[in-house]
Amino acid sequence: MPTESEPQNLSIADIERQLERLAAKGELIREVDAHGESTFSAAKPAPLPALLVLTFLCSLGTGSLWTGLPFVAEHDFNFTKVENLWLAIADATVYVVVAYFSGPLLRAVQRRLSPRGVLVALLVVQTLICPLPLMGSVWGVIATALGTSAVAATLWPVVESYLSSGRHGHQLRHSVGLFNIVWTSAVAAGLFMMAPLFATQYTRLAIVAIGPCCLLSALCLPWFPSKPPPHLDDGQAPIVPPVYRPLRDATRSLLPTSYLLIGALGPLLPYAIAKLSVAAAWQTPLAATWLSVRVFAMLGMWRLRFWHGKWATLALGAALMSGGFFVAMVAGTVPTLIAALAAFGVGHSILYYASLYYAMSVGHGEVDAGGHFEALIGAGYIMGPLASLAGVWIGGEMSVQWCVLGVAALASMLAAREWLRWRRNRHTTAPSAPVKH
């Protein structure tokens, strides 16, 4: 039996069989010329247009559910604030649990099913559970909401692996930038598109419509390789400023905090809008203010560079989100609510994109944060409604705002600690060593 140091004498037939197996797994591409000769080459990444179309359609569906569900539950099923908050907690809990274990689950499934096959299966499951709200029972809506959270927690890691695998450097950063613009645009569009249904008693049809979106998105999958190609490393080790590392560490607490605020805002927003006597058909477009503004703010963060390496950028994002949340909850006029939601959207785009930028700049090699990072974001979605419930139990609307902002402030102290540590050590910090992506 040959050892690793001994060369193995493979015949041409053996090599051809190995190449065929790799091609069958999607790790190589086989091309046959006019003479019947086979040529093998490295697998190419999923075409960006197909990936972005799939992202838009899937985000349009999940956006209609995650951002529109509180309005549907309140309009069609007369959910109270407390009931909507509990539904948000249940959604987030399912997402956290499934996301945390999605890695081992996908590895076990992929022994029999390729990643592209996993996407097909998930889209089929999503399509099948979407009609459940038509049963007329509140349990149908709850089952669809929880099922969609489970599907999303498994689907997006696979989609993101297709996005990053086979790309590196500027190509990867450009692709990720477009990816974020596309999914945020789709989530905002979902609330606008469901608005006409609020003039009827069947707003639940907005949830049912996720099914056709999934079926359309499945049409993009023939352009995907059966599995993501190996991740490319261009061999270059970029040098980053010393401040990038503490900024990256600070965003690791600020990003989950931002989702805490989103998790609190979503279930309460229908009631904040309703008290302003806004017509039903205009409620979801008004709620989409922060989602729409977030798209343009994120575009600015992507294309502009003056904010790189600035602590003030993170402070501004945190202030805009916190202030926007507070004012939105107490707003007495529609213009005030619009301004508050716009500030909230700008704040989230700052924290989200800064977190993404510093993570990509410094790299992930030091910490295996995959499932734990997803769990932290999901924990934000859970803690937001829980803090709101604590405020409801204490009594009074102001108690809700102060409970949410109090928990957010405690979470943000971790980011403040990174800033204080950097100020103390910045004069003694050696120049940053090259860091590989």
User: Which residues are 30's β-sheet partners?
Assistant: 40
pTM above 0.75, yes or no: yes
- Three-state DSSP at 229 gives coil
- Three-state DSSP at 288 gives coil
Q: What is the pLDDT of residue 337?
A: 95
Confidence of residue 38 (pLDDT cuts 50, 70, 90): low
Per-residue model confidence as pLDDT tens digits over 126-174: 999 988 888 878 898 899 999 998 998 888 888 888 887 777 667 777 8
- Name which CATH class applies to 47-231: mainly alpha
**287 or 63, which is more confident?**
287
Which range is least confidently modeled, 25-39, 103-117, 164-178?
25-39
Which range is least confidently modeled, 183-187, 377-381, 384-388?
377-381
Residue 365 pLDDT > 60: no
No. of helices (H) and no. of strands (E), the chain: 16, 2
- Quickly list DSSP for 266-322: HHHHHHHHHTTT--HHHHHHHHTHHHHHHHHHHHHHHH--TTTT-HHHHHHHHHHHH
Q: What is the pLDDT of residue 339?
A: 96
Question: According to the per-residue pLDDT averaged within each range, which of 79-93, 354-368, 418-432 is highest?
Answer: 79-93
Is 235-437 in CATH node 1.20.1250.20?
A: yes
Residue 103 pLDDT > 90: no
Residues of the chain with CATH 1.20.1250.20: 47-231, 235-437
Residue 1 pLDDT > 80: no
**97 or 437, which is more confident?**
97
Cβ atoms within 10 Å of 378's Cβ, excluding its own: 25
Confidence of residue 392 (pLDDT cuts 50, 70, 90): confident
The whole-chain average pLDDT of the chain stands at 81
- Quickly list DSSP for 249-265: HHHHHHHHHHHHHHHHH
Residue 249 pLDDT > 80: yes
Which range is least confidently modeled, 268-272, 289-293, 389-393?
389-393
Cα–Cα distance for residue pair 345/329, rounded to 1 Å: 15
